[in-house]
Amino acid sequence: MSVAGKNEITFGERLKAHLEIARLDHSIKNLFVLPGVIIPLSFYPELMTRGLIWRLVLAFVSITLVACSNYVINEVLDAPFDRLHPTKKNRPTARGVVNIPVAYVQWLLMMVVGVGLGLYIGKMFALMCVVLWVMGCFYNFPPVRTKDVPYLDVLTESVNNPIRMLLGWYAVTATLIPPVSLLICYWMIGCYFMALKRFSELSEIGDRERAGAYRASFKHYTLESLLVSVTFYASTAMLFFGAFAIRYHMELILAFPLLALTMSLYFKLAFKKNSSVQNPEKLYREPMLMASFVATSAAILILLFTTMPVLESFFLPTLRR
């Protein structure tokens, strides 16, 4: 008998469930594509052609389909564990409302259509779509299933950040090479967010044994070890942000105080009960964080298109070999 109970599931309920497991509300995460779009345009304005808007619309549809494909398989494979979680037990697959064979078809079909659309943009863009999908497989499927391995779960989930940046980049240009320092910075910021999500989840569940039954990596994590990793990810992210700013656009250093404020507010939020950190698609409900995020984004955007020669002289080396 299904978890949904004895009552027969209607077609409407089944259809709604299959739409829910695609997590279209998580499409807000595709905003992480934007830096990959804006940065090459800030250096080469001539890339801003008439067809760019159409390419970007097509790119976002393609990325959304591939990301939703990953969410579908995540829901299917995580259902037995979600039933042990205080809130995720209400997900459609955990309740037995989803038709599993149809969900597998949905998973593959969304990927095929997403990558197919990506080919209209370019081979490199389509390749990044495939990489995004493959990382979802590594994250969810046994025997690899990196989401069960401590630290590797954070690293492999967060690598989607630089992949999204590359998707934005290759939607704009297929010839320019993105800076490695920027990609590492973006990856580590993703790790920072994800490690705090794990910290919040573990704090919320409380019972280590129950937490380990829900998520295998929690058998090895402690609240202390997660906070130590958060410090490492934040430090590394800011190191490479500085490296990118000094090497490519020194004006970005002026945005650092706002960036640090946003990261600090996010850190504080992880200690709240029922924190939005566990559900990033609900972060818009946090007004202080949103205000700081918007101010930071605006500052970075303005500074990318601003030149301040005085900063060059201010940071000239004072020591010689």
Has residue 179 got a pLDDT over 90?
yes
Tell me: do 16 and 130 sit in the same domain. Answer: yes
Tell me: do 126 and 196 sit in the same domain. Answer: no
User: How much is the pLDDT for 6?
Assistant: 43
Tell me: do 222 and 169 sit in the same domain. Answer: no
Prediction pTM value: 0.90
Mean pLDDT of the chain: 90
CA–CA distance, 56 with 170 (Å, rounded to integer): 10
User: How much is the pLDDT for 124?
Assistant: 96
Count of the separate structural domains present in the chain: 2
Banded model confidence at residue 12, pLDDT cuts 50, 70, 90: confident
CA–CA distance, 179 with 247 (Å, rounded to integer): 10
Tell me: do 287 and 191 sit in the same domain. Answer: yes
Has residue 223 got a pLDDT over 80?
yes
- CATH number for the domain spanning 141: value is 1.10.357.140
Has residue 85 got a pLDDT over 90?
no
Banded model confidence at residue 7, pLDDT cuts 50, 70, 90: low
Banded model confidence at residue 3, pLDDT cuts 50, 70, 90: very low
Q: 171 to each of 43, 73, 126, 183, 220, how far by Cα in Å? A: 15, 26, 10, 16, 40
Has residue 5 got a pLDDT over 60?
no
Tell me: do 167 and 204 sit in the same domain. Answer: no
CA–CA distance, 300 with 242 (Å, rounded to integer): 13
Tell me: do 51 and 185 sit in the same domain. Answer: no
Which of 152, 177, 202 represents a domain boundary (last residue)? Answer: 177
pLDDT one-digit tens code per residue, 29-80: 888 899 999 999 999 999 998 889 999 999 999 999 999 999 999 999 988 8
Tell me: do 59 and 34 sit in the same domain. Answer: yes
Tell me: do 165 and 262 sit in the same domain. Answer: no
What share of the chain in percent tops pLDDT 90? 65
Tell me: do 35 and 162 sit in the same domain. Answer: yes
Banded model confidence at residue 1, pLDDT cuts 50, 70, 90: very low
Banded model confidence at residue 283, pLDDT cuts 50, 70, 90: confident
User: How much is the pLDDT for 209?
Assistant: 80
Which tops the pLDDT comparison, 49 or 239?
239
Tell me: do 36 and 107 sit in the same domain. Answer: yes
User: How much is the pLDDT for 32?
Assistant: 86
Tell me: do 157 and 184 sit in the same domain. Answer: no
CA–CA distance, 74 with 88 (Å, rounded to integer): 12
Name residue 245's amino acid: A
The domain in which residue 158 lies consists of 1-177
Which of 177, 194, 220 represents a domain boundary (last residue)? Answer: 177
User: How much is the pLDDT for 2?
Assistant: 47
Which of 142, 177, 212 represents a domain boundary (last residue)? Answer: 177
Has residue 4 got a pLDDT over 80?
no
Tell me: do 262 and 299 sit in the same domain. Answer: yes
Banded model confidence at residue 197, pLDDT cuts 50, 70, 90: very high
